[in-house]
Structure 1
Amino acid sequence: MPHHRLTTPRILFAGDPHGRFEHLFAVVRARRPQALVLLGDIEAPVPLQELMAPIEALGTQAWFIPGNHDTDRAPSWDALQAWPERNLHGRVVEVAGVRIAGLVGIFRDEIWRPDSPVEPRFASLQAYLADLRLRTHPNDWARKQQGLSVIKHHSSLFPEDFDALAALDAEVLVTHEAPSCHPRGFALIDDLARALRVHILFHGHHHDCLDYSGSTVALGFRAHGVGLRGISALDGTVLRPGELDAARALLRTPSMPGVPPAD
């Protein structure tokens, strides 16, 4: 793949919207990209396809990965479930001529922490649900499936998610969790990006935009965090700074302590 394809800003990447979308409409109207990728924590108040209709009408395809807050409430999760064909999680899709891989949500202690010596409790969402069903009275199972304790783990990361993606090939990886160059990131995200042989990775979740340029050689790919309601182009150029980027300017060296916890 010619490298110049990844420096053409025809795909935009949007940091966590958390229920606000006016900025997305404004940037898309001004830039007219071919695609917009939402990096999780969307918290759509209505079905996402309906919400993104004004963007699609301008010729911009909307794509997404779910974030941890998208499973906090059943209506938020249902809003994403209504548009499965635009969910990038667990697959590689050619978007505007670029192969993009997606990875849902976050690591959760009750499922798996890859930085812990403790083995994963469950290898997959299906294994978790099967175990839960065994521990649930049949009369309560239908109610339990609709409960937030089950919905929550649709945005949890499982070993199976990594195994399935690692066998594929992509140019860009979008994740909610961060790679290891972020103070609260994970080396396993690095490993997945290298297995996919991507050139660049975009993540949300942490609501900041740290300078990862010093880590590029060690990582083997370029990494970019997109801040709260920020928007970046495919070459990493920040088109709209995140709302907390300026306040966190002193924390833009990833080795510095004091980076706020993930939201």
Structure 2
Amino acid sequence: MIRMKIKSILISQPEPATESSPYLDMARNAGVEVDFRPFIQLEGASAKEIRAQKVDLSNYTCIILTSRNAVDHYFRLAEEMRFAVPDSMRYICQSEAIANYLQKHIIYRKRKICFGEKTAADMLPYFKKYSSEKFLLPSSDSLNPSLEKALKDSKIDWTRVIMYRTVSCDLSDLKLSNYDLLAFFSPLGIKSLVENFPDYKKEKFKVAVFGNTTEAEAKKAGLSVDVKAPTKENPSMTMAIEKFINNSK
């Protein structure tokens, strides 16, 4: 078997804001070039699109927040739709980090803000405690199945509103032939590759994926997965890539 020496890697994520990135450390350790380029981006829904979903923000007394993006787009659209979010609004957040992020938009009131540890199931006790509320879930165009199950199991009065979506970036200026390995972190990243490069199968590059759903989408696209994370041996993408590079020398 002929091994392909890895000299250049493309990470399908935004460039890190600091030089302390584990990817940059990995590049130095392995002696390779690393570039960053996001393959997907968020696109906010318009007020018109929210109205088309027949959602009136004033009808809800509790907001379910599962990400910082959900926080930002909820308050952005509230402002665009001239809805003054009342001080009485309750917020149930999936994690403490999201709850703390709310301070960007509101005065923090612990009695009106509660949060889980990390998962959607962590919010279930709060759904039951405040079951008389009318819940609004600001979300992207894809809904986590575990969150949907938690909401259905709680039997609360909830409405989902799509406030933002993930779309493919324009990668027309990118040359895949410049890279020996491409790293993907979501199924949507793979779909962006397919959309932007119709002849991607003709290119010679190795593929690294993060997560089972990304791996499944890569295989669906006819790609051979060479590097996978997280695994027991390689809990991070950087560890997995560096090990692969060392084994390819």
What is the TM-score with the length of structure 2 in the denominator?
A: 0.29
Comparing both structures, which one devotes a greater share of its residues to strand?
2
* Structure number having the greater helix percentage: 2
TM-score by length of 1: 0.27
When Rg is computed on C-alpha atoms for both structures, the one with the higher figure is 2
